[in-house]
Structure 1
């Protein structure tokens, strides 16, 4: 059974995010992209998408509705969306979304959410 991001401990989640980002960025040495490296990068992108647990989906949806003219926002509301979209996803964001959805996060996450609320 695959462990969901909200079921992981903070350290496990962060290590997997760091590892995926390292694969995507590479080691800074220019290299040819081969099937192997391209496949590893694609898998790393998929891993990040999984680990981020759709945290920014609601914001992206709201931004698309705004651009389509379906909704209006104040300049401050738009700025808040832009800032949140640019900010990296944190473990706390994943835990908060899981709780909003009525899911049971990793018990160790309670310590983190109490410290940051």
Structure 2
């Protein structure tokens, strides 16, 4: 095998390798190509995902608003409870004062030898 034959054989082998690689690449891309149906399905999935994210965001906003209203109401109820507790304590003190006053008045009205 002389030099020219060697160069020709090498060129043919390299060209054949290039053609086989190109055919393999074409077949691979042809098999893994995204079809219009796949794109339509992906578009539908993206739209549904977007709608679900919007629904989630709306639910979170509604939840935060409800939590805020509940916190305000809880603060109001705690204030009312504290005011009621203070009023009850004042009423109890007033009742005790009245009992003591009544007992003193009754003690003064009883004759000295009478039994209570």
Same fold by TM (over 0.5)? no
Q: TM-score, normalised by structure 2?
A: 0.24
Tell which has more relative contact order, 1 or 2 (C-alpha 8 A, sep 6+).
Answer: 1
More helix by share: 2
Larger radius of gyration: 2
- TM-score (ref. length: structure 1): 0.24
